[in-house]
Amino acid sequence: MEFASLSLYNQAIILFAALALFMSFIMLAQARMMPLIFTFAWQGLLLTVVSVLVAITSGHPELHISAAITFCLKVVVIPWLLYRLSIKLNMQYDAEAMTHPTLLLLGGVALVIFSYHVSQSIVHLSGLATRNTIAVSMAIELLGMLLMIARKSAVAQVIGFMSMESGIFFAAVVSTYGMPLIVELGLAFDILVASILFGVFFFHLKDSFGSLNVGQFNRLSEANQAMPASDAAEPAPGERS
Amino acid sequence: MTLLEITLLIPLLGGLFLALVGHRPIAGWINIAVGVMTFGAALAMALEVLDHGPQLSPSRMFYIDAFNVYLVVLTAFVGLTTSIFSRPYMRHEVERGRVTSRRLRLYHAMYQCFLFSMLLALSTNNLGILWIGMELATLTTVLLVSLYRTPEAIEAAWKYFILCGVGIAQALFGTVLIYFAAETKLGAGRNDTLLWTVLHESAGGMDPAVITLAFVFLLVGYGTKVGLVPLHNWLPDAHSEGPTPMSAVLSGLLLNVALYALVRVKMLVDGSLHSNLAGNLMMGFGLLSFTVAGLFLHRQHDVKRMFSYSSIEHMGLITFGFGMGGPLATFGALLHMTVHSLTKSAIFITVGHACQLAGTQRITQIRGLIRTQPAIGWGLLLGTVAIAGFPPFGVFISEFLLLMATMKAWPWLTIPLLVGFGVAFAGLFRHMQKMVFGEPPPGQMPVEANMLPVVVHLLLVLWLGLAIPGFLSRWFEQATVLITGASPL
């Protein structure tokens, strides 16, 4: 399909969707906490813009509600929450040591190609104007997952989680013009509760481990389970207070 | 208002009420009272279904058929018996200073909200709401896993949150894809496209490519919550570090609900693909989980961790059974879901008391239960005998049915199954004998324990092993017909 032959609205949709995907790559490469949070908010904003554009072009006014939900959660509430927590936990200047950033980005590229390959077989079914962006939404989801796997900081993992959620929400908007309203509201509620719980956990992690680096988690790995010698050394679980 | 809606409303309101008064000494009793009411309502609802057959609520939001009616009753029942166990257990934990009164309130409120989320997931007719219920079940339990606030508990809860979060997000993507497939078939603009009843009717015309892709995402998503290897990492941690009543309901109920979601989706996929792709995938994952978990049983040093691996093993077996399809295997899998749930929650209840008795979860330090407190010792021994699949308990019957079905359809796979049973049996009993018999350490004192739930559960499992009551076998049969299209009898 010739890009120039599309209507201006559709060109804008594809442009903004591509920018949102680009934000995912920036998040993958961003080691500092604050810019990471801001990039996530920018991605939310871009996805909101796409939802509004889809709502206008498709004549589905209920998509404005999806856009509003995305805006409230992904641009305002979650970034604000993370921002406040970072300041409160005194880690606004923290940066994570990145291992193999190039490899990570190349992996991201591979995931995007994979998404295009997979969605090739299903895109032709859709008569929707936005079908070109189905692959983008899948790529945003998979890149969010990659972010969660590759990073050791709890904040980055939360951002990856929320970015996955954004990608799925976006997939619903562009492939079917949104899920039924009750499902969208339920989803928004779940995500809101999840973000609050994540905040609670940041404090617990900080209290117990002194930092939000979850890479040091090893107490429960199977390798440590198989060492009876440590029986005497470590206090029995029942006696921990 | 239908009886089903009442069944859902009681735990929700109970949870909200307990959020206000959950720290008082009477909260344990309120928790039990809410459990009794939920169970009563669920029972009344089940009787109605027994008389009038499958029911669709007027708004088409809820749907009860032979497949989920018994799971709703089972969930309400185990929720009730575990709440009976949790009252003395949590009081003991408060006395030992492991739980503050604020956390006790959180515990009671979340316990009921967790039951609500599972009942919602089981009874809803909407695949989107099903997903929301599953996610809600994670959210309500994650703070309970970290209830003790030890570094281990927080690590376990974080792992649980992140792994289940990622997994369940995949399931959401799968749900979106199913919606996409249904909308291309049924046309846009309908607001009932995500209803299971509508999807099931029109499954035949949905595009196989999309449905295949959707099933892969859904299998990974709900499979994470079922605890299928290699997505099982959260499960032993969450079970071993949280309070024991939580382990009982997680193992006995949550895994079942996740598997229920997976089987519901499989029914759609089978209708669309007309091949056994979904079944074969489930068989592979199931057999892998069954084998790996059986081996891991041998390496465990924490008693709750050991039994959580046993849960993975049984869930793997049930997934394998559903994957195999066929009336006999499906009937066996449905029965196994029930007996495993009853037996495993009974075991966790006994283990909870045993750990309080010994003051530790380390297997090497739990000794001589039968001498110190015979009820706990015998409970643990009989529970383990039942879960290992000895006759005359119900687990034997369902495992036997599954083995028979395997022998008919995939004769070669009976060998890994039999080896797996042997390995798991050895894994459980090499630890069990010393814990139950052995020499009790000096100064070991009996604790306050209410063994009533354990006795009731094990008697039910025994009953199911000797004779399955007529109404239950009819439900199993109807469910089998729903899932496979053929009757086992």
Mean pLDDT by 10 residues, chain B (489 residues): 87 93 88 95 91 85 89 95 92 88 92 95 93 93 89 90 91 91 80 86 86 93 92 91 92 94 92 87 95 92 92 95 92 94 94 90 88 91 92 92 93 94 91 87 84 93 91 89 81
Query: Residue A236's pLDDT band (boundaries 50, 70, 90)?
Result: very low
DSSP conformational letter for A132: G
Q: Minimal CA–CA distance to A41: which of A2, A83, A1?
A: A83
- Sequence-distant (≥ 6) Cβ neighbours of residue A90 within 8 angstroms: none
Q: Is B485 left (phi over 0), alpha (psi -120 to 50) or beta?
A: left
Q: Which residues in chain B have Cβ-Cβ distances shorter than 8 Å to A126?
A: 180, 184
Interface of B with A in 291-320 (CB under 8 A): 296, 299-302, 305
Q: Minimal CA–CA distance to A40: which of A169, A161, A168, A159?
A: A159
Per-residue pLDDT, averaged over A38-42, amounts to 95
Among A82-86, A136-140, A206-210, B121-125, name the one with the lowest average pLDDT: A206-210
How is residue B228 written in tokens? 């299928």
> Residue A176 and residue B157: Cβ atoms within 8 Å?
no
Cis peptide before B230 (omega within 30 of 0): yes
Residue A43 CA to residue A162 CA, distance in Å, equals: 11
User: A230 pLDDT exceeds 80?
Assistant: no
pLDDT at A233: 38
Distance from CA of A216 to the nearest CA of B (A): 10
> Residue A126 and residue B184: Cβ atoms within 8 Å?
yes
> Residue A208 and residue B209: Cβ atoms within 8 Å?
no
Q: Which residues in chain B have Cβ-Cβ distances shorter than 8 Å to A189?
A: 132
**Residue A31 class from Cβ within 10 Å (0-12 exposed, 13-18 middle, 19+ buried)?**
middle
The pLDDT tens digits of the residues spanning A119-137 come to: 887 777 776 666 778 889 9
CB B291 within 8 A of CB B420: yes
**Residue B412 class from Cβ within 10 Å (0-12 exposed, 13-18 middle, 19+ buried)?**
exposed
Question: How many CA atoms lie within 13 Å of A63's alpha carbon, on the beta-carbon side?
Answer: 25
Handedness of CA A219, A220, A226, A228 (dihedral sign): positive
Q: Minimal CA–CA distance to A33: which of A100, A79, A76, A72?
A: A79
Per-residue pLDDT, averaged over A59-67, amounts to 85
pLDDT at A239: 38
CB B334 within 8 A of CB B476: yes
pLDDT at A232: 38
Q: Does B208 touch chain A (CB under 8 A)?
A: no
Interface of B with A in 446-475 (CB under 8 A): none
Q: Minimal CA–CA distance to B302: which of B435, B105, B455?
A: B435
Handedness of CA B408, B411, B416, B422 (dihedral sign): positive
**Residue B61 class from Cβ within 10 Å (0-12 exposed, 13-18 middle, 19+ buried)?**
middle
pLDDT at A128: 67
Question: How many CA atoms lie within 13 Å of B342's alpha carbon, on the beta-carbon side?
Answer: 27
**Residue A100 class from Cβ within 10 Å (0-12 exposed, 13-18 middle, 19+ buried)?**
exposed
Residue A86 CA to residue B121 CA, distance in Å, equals: 35
The pLDDT tens digits of the residues spanning A86-113 come to: 888 887 777 777 778 889 999 999 999 9
> Residue A161 and residue B237: Cβ atoms within 8 Å?
no
Distance from CA of A1 to the nearest CA of B (A): 21
Taking CA–CA distances from A235, the nearest residue in chain B reads B360
User: A228 pLDDT exceeds 70?
Assistant: no
| β-strand partners of B63 | B56
Residue B254 CA to residue B248 CA, distance in Å, equals: 10
Q: Minimal CA–CA distance to B164: which of B135, B132, B188?
A: B135
| β-strand partners of B302 | B362
Q: Which residue has the tokens 């009442």?
A: B6
> Residue B128 and residue A220: Cβ atoms within 8 Å?
no
The CA distances from residue A199 to B41, B84, B190, in Å, are: 37, 33, 38
CB B41 within 8 A of CB B7: yes
Distance from CA of B99 to the nearest CA of A (A): 9
Q: Is A151 left (phi over 0), alpha (psi -120 to 50) or beta?
A: beta
**Residue B489 class from Cβ within 10 Å (0-12 exposed, 13-18 middle, 19+ buried)?**
exposed
Of A157, A186, A198, the CB nearest to B129: A186
Q: B321 in helix, strand or coil?
A: helix
CB B327 within 8 A of CB B473: no
Taking CA–CA distances from A241, the nearest residue in chain B reads B98
Taking CA–CA distances from B296, the nearest residue in chain A reads A222
Compute the 3-state secondary structure of chain A and give helix, strand, coil in percent, each to the nearest 5.
Answer: 80, 0, 20
- Sequence-distant (≥ 6) Cβ neighbours of residue B327 within 8 angstroms: B480, B481, B484, B486, B487, B488
Where helices occur in B53-150 by DSSP H, the ranges are: 66-95, 101-123, 127-145
CB B420 within 8 A of CB B290: yes
Among A185-194, A213-222, B36-45, B303-312, name the one with the lowest average pLDDT: A213-222
Taking CA–CA distances from A214, the nearest residue in chain B reads B155
pLDDT at A229: 39
Question: How many CA atoms lie within 13 Å of B243's alpha carbon, on the beta-carbon side?
Answer: 30
pLDDT at B216: 93
Of B159, B209, B240, the CB nearest to A121: B209
Distance from CA of A231 to the nearest CA of B (A): 8
Q: Does B441 touch chain A (CB under 8 A)?
A: no
Of A148, A176, A238, the CB nearest to B180: A176
Q: Minimal CA–CA distance to B213: which of B180, B183, B190?
A: B180
Handedness of CA A135, A136, A137, A143 (dihedral sign): positive
ipTM above 0.85, yes or no: yes
Compute the 3-state secondary structure of chain B and give helix, strand, coil in percent, each to the nearest 5.
Answer: 80, 0, 20
Distance from CA of B9 to the nearest CA of A (A): 17
Interface test with B, best of A63, A65, A125 (most B CBs within 10 A): A125
Cis peptide before B392 (omega within 30 of 0): yes
How does the average pLDDT of chain A come out, rounded?
83
Q: Does B184 touch chain A (CB under 8 A)?
A: yes
Interface test with A, best of B116, B180, B232, B244 (most A CBs within 10 A): B180
Size of interface A-B (CB pairs under 8 A): 165
Of A125, A190, A205, the CB nearest to B132: A190
> Residue A122 and residue B210: Cβ atoms within 8 Å?
yes
Distance from CA of A203 to the nearest CA of B (A): 11
How is residue B342 written in tokens? 């009853």
Per-residue pLDDT, averaged over A199-214, amounts to 84
How is residue B414 written in tokens? 């009976």
**Residue B95 class from Cβ within 10 Å (0-12 exposed, 13-18 middle, 19+ buried)?**
exposed
What is the tally of helices (H) and strands (E) in chain B? 20, 2
